[in-house]
Amino acid sequence: MKRHSKLIVTSAVLATSIIAVILRKRKNPEPLPYEQRFALELPRLLNQSQLNEALSPEPSERILEVGPGTGRYSLPVAEHLDSDGSLHVLDVQQQMLDHTVQRAREQGVDGITATHGNAEQLSYSDDHFDAVYLVSTLGEIPDQEQALKELHRVLRPGGRLVVGESIADPEMVRLGTLRDRCESVGFRFEQRVGRRIGYFARFRKPPR
C-alpha cells in the first residue's frame, strides 16, 4: 500500500514538472540548443512523405526552409530539386546550418544554400520563393506573427507555406491557433496532412 502511494506521488511530481517545463517554454520560447540535437533524430509523428504531400515541391522551384536544425527534412527536399531549383535554409544557430551543410556534403546532396538569420527579419527580397516550410520551428519563435508576415512577404503570389507541428514538441502550435495567425497576415488555409496531434498544414499566399 505504501509503495502504491509512493508511486502515485512520484507520478504526480513528474507530471507537474513536465507541465511546468511546457508552460515555461511556451511563455519564453527559445531555439532548441545545438547540444540537444539528438532529440531531432528520434522517431517522429511527422514523416517525410507527409511533408512531400503537403509541400508538393516542383523540381525547378526556389524553396526556403526556416529552422532546418540538423537537416532531417532538408536533404530529401533538396534531392527532389533539379539544377534550376534551389533549397535555402535559414537558422538562428550557425551550428545547425553547419551540421545541415556537412550532412548534405557527406550524402552527396547539392543545391542547399545556408543563411544565418532570424525568421522575424528576413534579408530576402519580396516575392522571392515559390514555397516556404518550417517543421517544429514556429513555436520556438518569440514573435510568430512577425515571422509569418515576413514569410508572406518573401513568398511570391500564389506561393505555398507549409507548417509542421507535433504534440511531441513542448511549443507545439495547435492547428486552430496556426490558422488564426496565418490568416491574420494574409494566408489562405488549404489542407491538413496528418492528424491534429501531428500535422502539416498548407497555406497559400493569394495570387494578385
Ligand X SMILES: C[S@@+](CC[C@H](N)C(=O)[O-])C[C@H]1O[C@@H](n2cnc3c(N)ncnc32)[C@H](O)[C@@H]1O
Which residue ranges make up the site for ligand X (CB under 6 A)? 31-32, 40, 66-69, 72-73, 90-93, 96, 118-120, 135-137, 140-141
Minimum separation from the CB atom of position 13 to ligand X (A): 27
Give the ranges where the chain is alpha helix by DSSP (H). 2-27, 48-55, 74-80, 94-106, 144-154, 175-184
The smaller minimum CB distance to ligand X, of residues 33 and 157, is found at: 33
Minimum separation from the CB atom of position 95 to ligand X (A): 9
Minimum separation from the CB atom of position 180 to ligand X (A): 20
Cα torsion angle, 97, 100, 106, 108, sign: negative
The smaller minimum CB distance to ligand X, of residues 142 and 158, is found at: 142
The smaller minimum CB distance to ligand X, of residues 81 and 96, is found at: 96
The smaller minimum CB distance to ligand X, of residues 6 and 26, is found at: 26
Minimum separation from the CB atom of position 108 to ligand X (A): 20
- Strand 198-204 with 188-195, pairing: antiparallel
The smaller minimum CB distance to ligand X, of residues 36 and 125, is found at: 36
Burial grade of 47 (CB within 10 A; 0-12, 13-18, 19 or more): middle
H/E segment holding residue 197? none
Minimum separation from the CB atom of position 46 to ligand X (A): 7
- The phi, psi pair for 156, rounded to 5°, reads -70, 155
